[in-house]
Structure 1
Amino acid sequence: MNRKLRRANEAAARRSGAPSDPRVAGLFSSGLVHHQAGRLAQAETLYRETLALKPDHADALHLLGVIASQVGQHDVAIDLIERAIAHDPKSPVYHSNLGLALAGRQRFAEAIKSYDRSLSLRPGDAEVLYSRGNALVALGRPRDALESYERALLARPDHTEALCNRGAALAALGRNEEALASYDRVLKVAPDHAEALSNRGNALKCLARFDDALASYDRALTARPEDAQALFNRGVTLHDLKRFAEALASYDRALGVAPDHAEALSNRGDVLRQLGRREDALASYDRALVARPDYPEALSNRGNVLKILGRFDDALASYDAALRLSPDYAAALSNRAVTLQALDRLDEALADCDRALALHSDSVEALTNRGSLLQELNRFDDALTAYDGAVAIAPASIDAQMNRAFLLLLTGDFARGWPAYEWRRKLPSWVERGFAQAEWSGQDIAGKRLLLHAEQGFGDTIQFARYAQLVAARGANVILEVQPPLKPLLAGLFGVEVVAAGREELPPFDLHCPLLSLPHVFATTVATIPGGIPYIAAPADRFAAWAPRLPKDGLRIGLAWSGHRDNARDHERSIPFARLAPLLAIPGTSFVSLQKDVRATDADDVRNCGNMLDLGCELNDFADTAAVIAGLDLVITVDTAAGHLAGAMGKPVWLLLPRVPDFRWLRDRTTSPWYPSARLFRKGRADTWDEVIAGVAAELEAAELR
């Protein structure tokens, strides 16, 4: 029994000594004894017997209401206590306990009125002031709640619960240092106060004292190991620190205690999404929505996963559900815009971004998404303005900085683009090598040994490996560290020692440089892109092994139609194989598949294609791929490593590109300064691959490549 209810019983016990019917007094007194001992069923029976004899017995009505409140029957409690008040409106404890029952029904505004009536009869009651503060917090009025807690503490300075909740009110007002002091006052009196320790961790997290926050949560969990909220808060801190596996374990522990903890389920989905476990993330959001169907954040985050999975219509439905619950939810509007963009509903998407910005003009996410939309609409100057606005608000926003860098490079503004592209080092995918040697930034390197290391995909390594010879021309000895499947191919680069990442011990070196920082170091412009094509050739022995297997008749064409399925823009970089039928039907052609991994959705069409030799699954490394390409007349591909390889070999290559391609293909061009043998076929405003394929088919029918 809590202190407030015990005091109510004690007050009733004092009043029960007044002259009355002995039977009524005896029944009520016996009920009071049972109530004070926690035997609620027996107390309820005796209070009801009291009321059967004396229906207007105010204390019996009141305490019967208290029992109803104790067992969660708050509506019954409200009725009974209001009847007691009708008989005795001057009892402060009746009004305070009515406030508790009303709060139990989440009727907080009415609860505050009851507490105020109680305080008008007995000013300075610490318990009532404390309960009043709790109701004000529930109404989202932390400033008023703080004032109520302060008054409670004036009446009783050692009221630990009021001190603890005072800290929460201060934290809600952003006054985290003061909140911390309030929690520390609690812990001086009660060192194992789990709620104060957990809330103290929250304040420390807000102050960016993450290690101290985790230590405070751990102390809370030592005091109360099954504290779901402390486990959840600990998970949030680990989540913010991007320690995703540990965060997941903490959320799972919280859910072991409270399986329907909606926030833990939703945050667990966020972590699983970060870990690439998208289907599991979706299941976690769905569980959160079973626990709390009206949870807009879970609906919006669920939409994010569906968007990544390419289920755009389902994602749109999830965002719409979130916005029905919370029409001013700017993040849902912004992400809905991205989904509409994927569905090529650009004008609607732009309207969503503008609506989000009308609600929150400083929304970095909405500004960044708006820039992406404007970029797709070929409004490049406006897009740059949007990115610049996002960067001005949040200079540390990786998404805004990277989108800005990509746009500058796409538009050929290399002078600003390459320095901006150095922001890629802040991406979660960046691996910091931790070399003791300094990074090369362009200083004299004659006679030094320089390590150039691959950092991204196969295509990036092939494209930028050309810079190794520029470095060697400055008098350096160059070591090029590449992905293992590229070593047999790139080992033939003139004057460069090539090693395979992760498989070989690095030779000694003086300086190092990431491969994609070399254009910045060399201040590359569109006019000074290193040429020297071809700079890659197929090993002679590999060519000799593959040449006899290639078609003997017709125009021999290599084909690759899909990129990496985990790429965030895979839907713009991959084409269903069946859509390529117009190419495969052109007379006088023989196709060779360079597609190493064929998706399940394409497998039957590939297997049943009569005009294509499927070699992809037999290609062990890029030296094999180069040997096959060397024996072909043309390569047709989406934006994949096969396109880079063909271009670096000087082989005619036709690239099928989305409306807004990767930065290296620039804009409004049919040729590439990186690969003179490349032709670029771009989607138009209609954003359909069929239009691109029809254009390629027409060119192919007229081609004279031999």
Structure 2
Amino acid sequence: MTPEQAGEQIQQAIEHIRGRDLPAAEQKLMAVLRAHPNHPDALHYLGVVALQVGQTHKAIELISASLSRARNFAAFTNLGHALRSAGQLDQAIACYDQAIGLEPRQPDAYMPLALLLLQQGKKEIALRVLQKLVQVRSNDTQAHLMLGTLYSELEYLEKSVSAFRAHIAIQPDSAEAHGRLSMSLSKLKRHEEAVAEARRAVELAPQLPDAWNNLGWCLDRAGKTGEALEAYRKAVSLNPNYVLALGNLGALLERQDHLDEAIELFEQARRADPKHVEALNTLAGLYSKTGRYEEALAASEQALAANPRDASAHGHRALALLSFGKYEEGFKEYEWRWECKDFTTPARDFPQPRWTGATDPAGRTILVHCEQGYGDNIQFARFLPLLSDRGATVLVECPVALCGLMEGLRGVSRVIATGVRPPSFELQAPLLSLPHAFGTTLDNIPRDVPYFAVQSSRGEKWRQRLAPQLGQFNVGLVWRGNTKPNPRRSIPLAELAPLARVQGVTFVSLQFGAQGIEADAPPAGMRLVDLRNELKDFLDSAAVISQLDLVITIDTAAAHLAGALGVPTWTMLIFSADWRWLHHREDSPWYPTMRLFRQSRLDRWDDVVARVADEL
């Protein structure tokens, strides 16, 4: 067989490959190899035949033999395909790179290379490959679509808009491109354009659930929540197992306080995908919010079965366990809080090791740094003397408003305001990690009160200030807290009117600053001493509380402060109270002088206030 005849046979074999007549192609190529055993093109295309019949390793061997005799673009590209099929991704990437290096204007190797890089999570490199591809083949709609999607994922939003528009210029009726463009525009807060593109996607594909879900998302971000609900419901009606739309609809209903319907939707999502961790975590949060803690625990444990390293699931499980008083296990799980994306306090990066309770701290200096809210720090400050009892020198870093209070705590050597460089120390620990370090259970909570001391000079100052206004029975009053973590825990002062009808009571507002503005117009008949412009820090609050007979408060820092001072305290709790108040109890294991008054219905304070007034 002459070289010319061999070339004709190979060309006929290629036509057979294109026509899927692989046996005929193999026959032609074997004939060439019998005459020319090392013919590179015959080896190459025989390797292509082997690849198409699933003989991956034979394909790699044949195409590699071809390349050892002659390097060419097609052989490197096809060897890349074979290596990819064999799971040898790095070698496949190298082959595609070689092919592009030989013929950079030939487009066929760019897309498989980009797909492999994305599979390996190398998004920035894949982005550069796709950018080259659209330069080489400007009408490649798939490349423009992928490029736009990748730009969006990497937050290059303006570039993603350009890429999607380039796709639409070639393929105007692409519902997918219009939908993805709408998402990028919405992220750029170009809401009118976003909604218009999302509506165009729906027009082009009215039976596509994705299109309706995107429209709902854009409408929601544009503030058109009513229309967003309709769009999400349409997406779910088209596909009742569409977890993303179920989640979006459920989240919107949760924001509108339609919690029962939101739970139903996330339960539907759970049935559709029992391993969807995000949906399970949201469901756990909803069950906690509605006081259904056993179901919250079950949902979080199902999420952990799907992904044992999911921080949010551990966080939900921790709070559920703590709410049942299972402190030993619960505080262990609570250590996952630092990895939860919505945790309120950033993790601290100290070179000094964290004290976990596993070593003896005697003779060593430990910095305990506060975290989360004021109430959390007041409640868990009780563990600081235990460190001192073990022989440690205890430094405390805390917000300025708590410094004076912490200075009166037994066993604390020095208090440092947050942001001020502390003196040298050998160990460190977050304050709310101490219960776990000490192996805390319901039976061994440090419950001796008071554990804060008020300076005599500060106490005398406030005794003199209040003496002319106090009566025979004096009650501190707190009705508003910060909106975070839960705005539901506040009560309008007007709703406390039944307390004003109790004779012989003088109320003292313990509200700080603007939160106490309602004291300007208290309920009729309420004798209310307003100190909001005089209380400077928590030591002032402590000095005032120490002069009172009782504190009536919502779940906020004042409740913890009054309880820590050993003053009789009545705490009014929302229906789904925070984990620390446990379930169905009218007392607190944390504060022996505290009584708990719980809502019997979500968001209804009337029965709580009535019970407090009766007891008062």
1-side partners of 2:296 and 2:108: how far apart?
A: 47
1-side partners of 2:410 and 2:425: how far apart?
A: 19
The alignment status of 1:236 with 2:153, answered yes or no, reads yes
| Structure 1 match to 2:273 | 360
TM-score by length of 1: 0.62
| Structure 2 match to 1:543 | 459
8 Å contact kept, 2:145–2:163: yes
1-side partners of 2:281 and 2:337: how far apart?
A: 16
Relative to 1, partners in 2 of residues 1:305 and 1:206: Cα closer, same or farther, differing over 3 Å? farther
The alignment status of 1:522 with 2:438, answered yes or no, reads yes
8 Å contact kept, 1:296–1:326: no
Relative to 1, partners in 2 of residues 1:516 and 1:261: Cα closer, same or farther, differing over 3 Å? farther
Match of 1:690 among 591, 597, 605: 605
| Structure 2 match to 1:575 | 491
The alignment status of 1:634 with 2:550, answered yes or no, reads yes
The alignment status of 1:351 with 2:264, answered yes or no, reads yes
Match of 1:467 among 383, 394, 398: 383
Using the TM superposition, name which of 257-266 and 488-497 deviates more. 257-266
> What is the identity, as a one-letter code, of the residue corresponding to 2:354?
E
Unaligned runs of 5+ in 2: 1-14, 21-50, 53-62, 64-71, 139-143, 166-176, 203-210
8 Å contact kept, 2:96–2:109: yes
8 Å contact kept, 2:148–2:164: no
> What is the identity, as a one-letter code, of the residue corresponding to 1:233?
L
| Structure 1 match to 2:198 | 292
2-side partners of 1:554 and 1:349: how far apart?
A: 50
How far off its partner does 1:421 sit?
Answer: 0.9
8 Å contact kept, 1:330–1:360: yes
How far off its partner does 1:190 sit?
Answer: 5.8
| Structure 2 match to 1:622 | 538
Q: Deviations over 1:477-508 (max 9, x none)?
A: 11111122211221111221333344322111
Match of 1:399 among 312, 320, 335: 312
Relative to 1, partners in 2 of residues 1:183 and 1:388: Cα closer, same or farther, differing over 3 Å? same
2-side partners of 1:252 and 1:298: how far apart?
A: 19
8 Å contact kept, 1:304–1:335: no
Q: Deviations over 1:49-106 (max 9, x none)?
A: xxxxxxxxxxxxxxxxxxxxxxxxxxxxxxxxxxxxxxxxxxxxxxxxxxxxxxxxxx
1 or 2 for the larger relative contact order (CA 8 Å, sep ≥6)?
2
The alignment status of 1:427 with 2:345, answered yes or no, reads no
1-side partners of 2:520 and 2:225: how far apart?
A: 29
The alignment status of 1:415 with 2:297, answered yes or no, reads no
How far off its partner does 1:592 sit?
Answer: 3.4
How far off its partner does 1:677 sit?
Answer: 1.7
1-side partners of 2:300 and 2:497: how far apart?
A: 40
Q: Deviations over 1:392-411 (max 9, x none)?
A: 11112222111111111100
Q: How many residues align?
A: 517
| Structure 2 match to 1:207 | 120
Give 3-state SS (helix, strand or coil) of 1:497's partner.
strand
1-side partners of 2:533 and 2:355: how far apart?
A: 39
| Structure 1 match to 2:207 | none
Relative to 1, partners in 2 of residues 1:688 and 1:393: Cα closer, same or farther, differing over 3 Å? same
8 Å contact kept, 1:409–1:664: yes
> What is the identity, as a one-letter code, of the residue corresponding to 1:552?
L
8 Å contact kept, 1:368–1:400: yes
The alignment status of 1:217 with 2:123, answered yes or no, reads no
Alignment of 1:307-706 (within 5 A): 319-320=232-233, 322-324=235-237, 326-334=239-247, 336-337=249-250, 348-375=261-288, 380-428=293-341, 429=343, 430-442=345-357, 443-550=359-466, 551-553=469-471, 555-567=473-485, 570-584=486-500, 586-596=502-512, 598=514, 605-609=518-522, 611=526, 612-684=528-600, 686-691=601-606, 694-703=607-616
Relative to 1, partners in 2 of residues 1:353 and 1:228: Cα closer, same or farther, differing over 3 Å? closer
Give 3-state SS (helix, strand or coil) of 2:410's partner.
coil
1-side partners of 2:567 and 2:227: how far apart?
A: 42
Give 3-state SS (helix, strand or coil) of 1:655's partner.
strand
Using the TM superposition, name which of 654-663 and 617-626 deviates more. 617-626
Q: Deviations over 1:623-680 (max 9, x none)?
A: 2222332333332222211211111111222222222221111111111111112211
How far off its partner does 1:229 sit?
Answer: 6.3
2-side partners of 1:409 and 1:329: how far apart?
A: 33
8 Å contact kept, 2:107–2:133: yes
1-side partners of 2:594 and 2:227: how far apart?
A: 38
Q: Deviations over 1:680-700 (max 9, x none)?
A: 11122x313234xx3334433
Relative to 1, partners in 2 of residues 1:662 and 1:286: Cα closer, same or farther, differing over 3 Å? farther
8 Å contact kept, 2:354–2:427: yes
Using the TM superposition, name which of 221-230 and 356-365 deviates more. 221-230
8 Å contact kept, 1:454–1:515: yes
Give 3-state SS (helix, strand or coil) of 1:441's partner.
coil
Relative to 1, partners in 2 of residues 1:534 and 1:224: Cα closer, same or farther, differing over 3 Å? farther
Relative to 1, partners in 2 of residues 1:189 and 1:417: Cα closer, same or farther, differing over 3 Å? same
2-side partners of 1:537 and 1:302: how far apart?
A: 55
1-side partners of 2:513 and 2:92: how far apart?
A: 56
TM-score by length of 2: 0.70
8 Å contact kept, 1:653–1:677: yes
Give 3-state SS (helix, strand or coil) of 1:438's partner.
coil
> What is the identity, as a one-letter code, of the residue corresponding to 1:636?
I
> What is the identity, as a one-letter code, of the residue corresponding to 1:663?
W
Relative to 1, partners in 2 of residues 1:266 and 1:312: Cα closer, same or farther, differing over 3 Å? closer
Give 3-state SS (helix, strand or coil) of 1:632's partner.
coil
Identity across the alignment (%): 34
| Structure 1 match to 2:4 | none
Relative to 1, partners in 2 of residues 1:646 and 1:236: Cα closer, same or farther, differing over 3 Å? same
2-side partners of 1:199 and 1:548: how far apart?
A: 82
Relative to 1, partners in 2 of residues 1:401 and 1:597: Cα closer, same or farther, differing over 3 Å? farther
How far off its partner does 1:584 sit?
Answer: 4.4
1-side partners of 2:197 and 2:552: how far apart?
A: 50
1-side partners of 2:108 and 2:191: how far apart?
A: 27
Give 3-state SS (helix, strand or coil) of 1:526's partner.
coil
8 Å contact kept, 2:474–2:550: yes
Alignment of 1:144-293 (within 5 A): 180=93, 184=97, 187-189=100-102, 203-208=116-121, 212-217=122-127, 230=147, 233-237=150-154, 247=155, 250-252=156-158, 254-255=160-161, 263=180, 266=183, 283=189, 287-293=193-199
Give 3-state SS (helix, strand or coil) of 1:668's partner.
coil
8 Å contact kept, 2:478–2:510: yes
How far off its partner does 1:701 sit?
Answer: 4.3
Q: Deviations over 1:180-222 (max 9, x none)?
A: 56863664246599998798566435424xxx43255367669
Q: Deviations over 1:17-56 (max 9, x none)?
A: xxxxxxxxxxxxxxxxxxxxxxxxxxxxxxxxxxxxxxxx
How far off its partner does 1:549 sit?
Answer: 4.6
> What is the identity, as a one-letter code, of the residue corresponding to 1:635?
V
| Structure 2 match to 1:95 | none
| Structure 1 match to 2:48 | none
> What is the identity, as a one-letter code, of the residue corresponding to 1:465?
A
1-side partners of 2:578 and 2:219: how far apart?
A: 25
8 Å contact kept, 2:489–2:555: yes
